[in-house]
Copies of this chain bind each other. A is one copy, B any other.
Amino acid sequence: MNTKKMLFIFAVCACCSVTLIAQNSVNNVQMPELQRQVQRTNIRVPNLDAYETLKCDFHIHTIFSDGVVWPEIRVREAWEEGLDAIAITDHIERNPSKPHVGGDHNSSYEVALSSARNYDILLIKAGEITRSMPPGHLNALFVDDVNKLDTEKPEDAIMEAHRQGGFLIWNHPGWKAQQPDTCKMFDIHRKLISSGVINGIEVFNEKEWYPIVMSWCVENNLAVIATSDIHDVNAHFYPLEKYHRPMTLVFAKDRSMESLKQALFEKRTAAWFGKYVAGKENILNELFRKSVSFRTFPEPDAKKQYSIEIKNDSDFTFELTAVSSELPSFSVLPNSSVIVKAKQNGNFAYLVSNWFINTGKNLPVTITF
């Protein structure tokens, strides 16, 4: 605009619109700018051809065990963070653990239910069987009455959950408090897995990753699970401005409790924690293809290089490592694009080095220049 623009600005006073607000009223001035605008931030993850992608956290505590917030807060956190489904899994054996807090093992579910309906969050009735190793801790999802899981012997609690139609997850198998030097499967787990009682295992819990679990899930066709196991306020514990909370993606026919349950029992899941994703190859392959698009430049550039723009429409991060060392390795951040150049055109093998289809094994993809 200004042909002699004063670039030389010393104090552009963007907010010095002198405080006229005070004059409006001496009685009561509302100041909405001092309050956060409460909205649901959508998580950008593509659906699959045949399934809707539900964002779920199946391991959460409240004041009714050793968590620090009222159950309603867990629903509101889930809604604001863009989740579809949660299970509140208060510890059964030590519930309630706080002075002045009563209730029984169904209380946190019952207290949270009206909030869940208001926010349209799928709230799964659940509890955490909390025992020494083996069998350790297990979450029982989709149970009818958590109180009946408060048994003396862990096997009885597990079998009661199974009788109630529960989906059972073996929690944090490599937790150092229970397996300080290793992360191994015990006979009881093998038995419960082979008999279809244990249906999933946490490959990630809170801030711990158990890479070995992926091989167990692939070998035994178990659901791959990542959870927050949150006890604290979520925004206090996780840097939510950097990453979504750890979650399990469930690929369901639709966004309903029935389809969610069916998808879990059919083991259609993936684990997402930080910039990492773990799951079966066919699922991760489809997720990758639906998240990323490619645009090839028609002509080589002045330096005789072939160019490709790789566009990531999702909230995932992709770290793409060339199998052949001549090609560039690069990463594509959420909602971003990069341009990559190669000296020749053709199809080239890459690994998504932060996505895992088995223990130590990355998703292979092909990029065409």
Contacts and interface: CB of A to CB of B under 8 A. Distances in A.
Nearest to A69: B69
Nearest to A337: B40
A207 B32 contact: yes
A335 B39 CA distance: 10
- Identical chains bound together, number: 4
The 4 closest A-B pairs by CB, nearest first: A100-B103, A27-B183, A11-B338, A39-B336
A232 B12 CA distance: 14
B338 A39 contact: yes
Contacts of A100: 64, 96, 101-103, 107, 111
Interface string A131-158: 0000001000000000000000000000
A189 to B, nearest CB: 15
Given A3-B66, A42-B313, 10 more contacts: A3-B130, A7-B231, A11-B340, A16-B329, A16-B330, A16-B353, A27-B211, A30-B207, A35-B237, A100-B102
A324 interface: no
A273 interface: yes
Interface magnitude class on chain A: 35 or more
A111 B7 CA distance: 14
Contacts of A9: 38
B353 A11 contact: no
A333 B183 contact: no
Interface string A100-136: 1111000100010011011110000000001000000
5 contacts: A3-B65, A8-B115, A11-B330, A27-B210, A69-B69
A177 interface: yes
Given A66-B5, A208-B29, A335 B44 contact: yes
